């Protein structure tokens, strides 16, 4: 579940009081002029809206398995209680059937609906750069194509007085940008398109950009500085840097590699797992080839100033040792006993079935959490139209002790040319404990 902590200390209360009157003023700001004009929806418009809903991955939050599409009800935990996503089908009573285009736009880009500010779990910070035409297309799709579902809105489980929403307005004013026309000064149309998708509806930075003490993303776009897409922890996994750097990032990936990854979840370098599996299954597999290429193009344009270790080069020494029967390195025997059957003694895996560990940024990422966690929990690949077969890695939590997990993780991070720091058993224990706590 998404967790949020909207308060950063008692000091915030003072600020809250002072600004209350301000929020009342900003609250009613309609600025109607900025909203897209309503117009008759065309079939083409609706189709584009359907495509954009996929790019923005609305279903990930507003659709719940077993319930009608977009009827809401996904539970998201916060430290002050749980909230539920809204029914955004065109049902008049329980959904947005009575929404005007302006109402829809206000929710999507401004984060205001029904007269109050929405919880930031709804990623309106990223959606703020959506063009009016795209907003209208989304509106057309949701009000014309999506079937109405009379599913009542679930009441949030936040007790009074914490349930008062006015502090949210302060957060929004401080950290959510004024909706603005998307601007990127470049003649490269592909670059511009890619930025529009990644910074906007794709809201990739919500996961791949680190956050500040108020849980705000540190950069909302490339213009926000090198923090943007520089890698972050999300839901207990490490979402690696997407900037163009060295072997600890996707610097070694070509634009075609990145595009293939987004559309199928796999390329010669690795296979998506964890939260990214859901993004691919629900969203990026549906990117058009052009849009996927544009997104890739944009990502390659983001240089990583911290990189400097040089390009990855495969080192066959470890593989040769294993072939020769030498498994004396720390974790090597464990790797043979547990991992080599699938990921192969040479670390190259089998493209499209078992990911390569050699030269894989996830493997060498600075926080080793993802490596540790996938060893403990296992994982199954995403199913896409292009890759109908799903492949699984089993859990080794029962088979390997914390020390053994640390040893084998250390081995894969330091073999075949990988240059990742060693992993300690305490790192594993922390991750394992959190996992235990997560059990229902």
Cα–Cα–Cα angle for 300, 57, 233, rounded to 5 degrees: 60
Residue among 94, 330, 344, 435 that touches other proteins (CB under 8 A): 344
- For 81, phi then psi, to 5°, come to 135, 180
Q: Which is nearer to other proteins, 285 or 338 (CB)?
A: 338
Phi and psi of 116, rounded to 5°?
-140, 165
Q: Does 333 bind other proteins (CB under 8 A)?
A: yes
Q: What is the dihedral of CA 120, 229, 261, 303, to 10 degrees?
A: 160
Q: Does 353 participate in binding other proteins (rule CB under 8 A)?
A: yes
Backbone Cα Rg of the chain: 23
> Which residues fall in the annotated binding site for heme c?
58, 61-62, 204, 207-208, 339, 342-343
Interface with other proteins, residue 67, by CB under 8 A: no
Q: Over 220-244, what HEC string results?
A: CCHHHCCCCCCCEEECCEEECCCCE
Binding flag, residue 327, other proteins (CB under 8 A): yes
The reply to whether 147 sits near other proteins by the rule CB under 8 A is no
Q: Which of 149, 322, 365, 423 binds other proteins (CB under 8 A)?
A: 322
288 forms part of the interface with other proteins (CB under 8 A): no
Instruction: Provide the mask over 101-140, with x wherever binding to other proteins is found by CB under 8 A and - wherever it is not.
Output: ----------------------------------------
DSSP designation for 70: T
In the numeric block, which tokens belong to residue 79? 């430290």
Contact residue for other proteins among 128, 370, 387, 415 (CB under 8 A)? 387
Give the number of residues in contact with other proteins, rule: CB under 8 A.
Answer: 34
Residue 392 dihedral angles phi and psi, to the nearest 5°: -125, 145
79, 225, 316, 386: residue in contact with other proteins (rule CB under 8 A): 386
Query: Residues 79, 81, 152, 394: which binds other proteins (CB under 8 A)?
Result: 394
Q: Report if residue 65 touches other proteins, rule: CB under 8 A.
A: no
Q: Find the binder of other proteins among 336, 403, 417, 435 (CB under 8 A).
A: 336
Instruction: Name the DSSP class of 211.
Output: B
* One of 383, 429, 430, 435 touching other proteins (CB under 8 A): 383
330 binds other proteins (CB under 8 A): no
CB of residue 263 to other proteins, shortest distance in Å: 13
Q: Does 66 bind other proteins (CB under 8 A)?
A: no
As given in the structure block, the two tokens for residue 215 are: 């849980």
Interaction between residue 380 and other proteins (CB under 8 A): yes
Three-state SS at 397: coil
Please report whether residue 325 would count as binding other proteins according to CB under 8 A: yes
314 lines the binding site for other proteins (CB under 8 A): no
310: number of Cβ within 10 Å: 10
CA distances from 111 to 120, 135, 175, 179 (A): 8, 14, 12, 10
> Quick check: helix, strand or coil at residue 45?
helix
Q: Please state the closest distance from residue 398 (CB atom) to other proteins, in A.
A: 8
Cα 388 to Cα 213, 268, 271, 362, 382, distances in angstroms? 41, 17, 14, 24, 9
Q: At what angle do helices 189-199 and 289-300 cross, to 10 degrees?
A: 90
Report d(CA 204, CA 230) in Å as an integer.
Answer: 11
Bridge partners of residue 194, in order along the sequence: none
Of residues 224-263, which lie at the interface with other proteins (CB under 8 A)?
none
Stretch that binds other proteins, among 34-42, 133-141, 185-193, 348-356 (CB under 8 A): 348-356
d(C-alpha 360, C-alpha 414), whole Å: 11
Looking at the DSSP bridge assignments, the partners of residue 244 are 303
Stretch that binds other proteins, among 118-126, 217-225, 294-302, 330-338 (CB under 8 A): 330-338
Q: Which is nearer to other proteins, 168 or 376 (CB)?
A: 376
Q: Which of 352, 367, 417, 422 binds other proteins (CB under 8 A)?
A: 352
Contact call for residue 354 and other proteins (CB under 8 A):
yes
Tell me if 95 contacts other proteins by CB under 8 A. Answer: no
Q: How many CB atoms lie within 10 A of CB 68?
A: 19
Residues that bind other proteins (CB under 8 A): 322-325, 327, 333, 336-338, 340-342, 344-346, 350-354, 380, 383, 386-392, 394, 398-400, 404
């Amino acid at each position: 579940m998404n967790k949020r902590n909207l308060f950063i200390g008692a000091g915030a209360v003072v600020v809250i009081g002072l600004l209350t009157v301000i929020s009342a003023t900003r609250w009613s700001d309609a600025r109607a002029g900025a909203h897209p004009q309503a117009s008759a929806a065309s079939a083409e418009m609706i189709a584009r809206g359907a495509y954009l809903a996929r790019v923005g991955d609305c279903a990930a939050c507003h659709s719940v398995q077993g319930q009608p599409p977009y009827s809401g009800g996904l539970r998201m935990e916060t430290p002050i209680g749980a909230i539920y996503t809204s029914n955004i089908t065109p049902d008049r009573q329980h959904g947005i059937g009575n929404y005007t285009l302006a109402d829809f736009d206000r929710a999507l880009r401004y984060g205001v609906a029904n007269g109050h500010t929405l919880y930031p779990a709804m990623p309106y910070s990223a959606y703020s750069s959506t063009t009016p035409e795209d907003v209208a297309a989304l509106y057309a799709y949701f009000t014309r194509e999506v079937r109405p579902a009379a599913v009542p809105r679930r009441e949030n489980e936040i007790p009074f007085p914490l349930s008062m929403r006015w502090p949210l307005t302060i957060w929004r004013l401080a950290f959510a940008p004024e909706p603005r026309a998307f601007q990127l000064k470049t003649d490269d149309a592909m670059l511009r398109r890619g930025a529009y998708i990644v910074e906007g509806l794709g809201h990739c930075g919500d996961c791949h950009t680190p956050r500040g003490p108020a849980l705000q993303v540190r950069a909302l776009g490339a213009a926000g500085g090198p923090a943007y897409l520089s890698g972050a922890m999300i839901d207990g996994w490490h979402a690696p840097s997407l900037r163009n750097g060295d072997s600890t990032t996707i610097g070694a990936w070509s634009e075609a590699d990145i595009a293939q990854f987004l559309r199928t979840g796999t390329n010669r370098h690795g296979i998506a797992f964890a939260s990214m599996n859901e993004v691919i299954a629900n969203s990026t597999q549906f990117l058009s080839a052009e849009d996927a290429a544009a997104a890739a193009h944009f990502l390659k344009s983001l240089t990583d100033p911290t990189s400097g270790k040089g390009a990855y080069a495969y080192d066959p020494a470890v593989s040769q040792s294993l072939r020769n029967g030498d498994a004396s390195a720390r974790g090597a025997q464990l790797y043979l006993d547990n991992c080599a059957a699938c990921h192969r003694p040479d670390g190259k895996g089998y493209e499209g079935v078992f990911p390569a560990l050699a030269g894989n940024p996830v493997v060498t990422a600075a926080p080793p959490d993802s490596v540790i966690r996938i060893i403990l929990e296992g994982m199954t690949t995403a199913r896409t139209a292009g890759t109908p077969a799903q492949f699984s890695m089993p859990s080794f939590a029962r088979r390997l002790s914390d020390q053994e997990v640390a040893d084998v993780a250390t081995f894969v991070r330091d073999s075949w040319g990988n240059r990742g720091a060693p992993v300690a058993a305490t790192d594993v224990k922390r991750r394992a404990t959190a996992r235990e706590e997560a059990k229902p």
